[in-house]
Chain A
């Protein structure tokens, strides 16, 4: 039924997918209410690395940014994918995106365009795409990035 191999010890439980839902669906991170520092991923329930405050509020980051660096998998050599990612073969484009808030998101992926269209510095926007199956067989989804068309 599923194309992935039988051994799935590397697949997280659905509860973890749920725990990260705001980050994955809406790019929600944290803002320290004491010093104002923005953090991604979320630091909710954790500690501000700048001032050691534990007082955070949610902060939804911009859904548009600038491609800082990228690396198309097919450009170099095929690396055996992690479990659950076999279906993507060597078509993934790895990236790091810089947001207007000065925060970087990465590693992440560029999708919906050919590798030769990808240029560092290009404007990109967040999209939600399926990325791997959960342990119960459901697809999980996450943010990825696609070029902003002029």
Chain B
């Protein structure tokens, strides 16, 4: 197996100026812009015609008004007859794309593979029905359950596990941090948007409807800084590690990579009877823990070597398990880790530095490639006002749909 490197990255901005043109653009525009942005980002030059294969991810079937889109993407990019693998793995799909593309390059089958994740959400007649394409749809969507409702069930379970007030405080803390990072990233959806609250006490003082009742005040939700659903694409070019210097002076190496699955039906996650999964329930989110373990092993590192992370953290039920999976927060202390500011720029593990999925913008099909883009920018020390102090090793942790699967990458600068 050859070492594999990222030679170029590309992205479509998610700021409001860019998205003002969203109605004039289809998913194909986003794919082209991000992919050619990535190709042009290969600093020593790369002819698009030298791309040998493409791996693409989008949110899921029925999310884009086309099926079997591999040939469409190949044509759209002007790359015929290059083959395209089209994946539908929701928010971790671009990480799965990285995983598969990694294998293509590491094995020696190809030398230049393009990976793209994208999402075009506003062309759908009804967004709720698209959003629901993220579970075991034969049972949850079929019975009228939406992604958000399933997340609400998970959140109830998280309250029970960690304590409601603590969970809400962690959520407020992370959302405020999200605004802070996003305001340092001109591409972020929340760039230039001030956080609607100045202190977390503004919400934590009112979170309970009646003191001691445990009932959440509806005003808490109304005033909680929100995660922003947007659309767009991001892409990167993979090349053999030992040839990376021919493409760029700043290659970023993929030293560990893994993809692990659990059931996509929440109730099955509660008891899935195989040794690797049986100890976890739905709110534990087993997949990233298993994937991180494998990726660290492959990279021959431990959590102490990780400098920062990009994880899927648009909602509290994913912030905690994906952060915990990195093994950097002490076991069982992830909520305290967040409350203590350890995911901030000067914390132990800066996380979501582009604004995170909430502040940069939740873009299902490209969520993980957005995280990879940010990791590369940080490791090249091109992140300006949001540059992390040390960026030698990054772990990128994805999450699919209802906590079903996770792709993980360990990136290293040298």
Contacts and interface: CB of A to CB of B under 8 A. Distances in A.
Contact of A50 (B127, B270, B273): B273
Interface in B136-164: 138-146, 148-150, 152-153, 155-157, 160
Interface string A92-104: 1011101000111
Between A20, A76, A98, A108, the greatest number of chain B beta carbons within 10 A of the residue's beta carbon is seen for A76
B414 interface: no
B128 A81 contact: yes
Contacts of A20: 142
A9 B133 CA distance: 13
Contacts of A68: 270
Contacts of B268: 104
Contacts of A82: 128-129, 132, 141, 144-146
Nearest to B154: A69
A50 B128 CA distance: 34
Given A83-B129, A96-B266, A104-B267, A37 B145 contact: no
Nearest to A109: B143
Interface string A66-98: 001111010111011111110010001011101
Contact of A71 (B129, B140, B153, B270): B153
Interface in B249-278: 265-268, 270-274
Interface string A20-46: 100000000000000001001100000
B273 A37 contact: yes
Contact of A69 (B138, B153, B216): B153
Contact of B271 (A12, A88, A102): A102
14 contacts: A7-B125, A9-B129, A12-B142, A49-B273, A77-B218, A82-B141, A82-B146, A84-B144, A94-B149, A103-B267, A106-B153, A107-B153, A108-B143, A142-B143
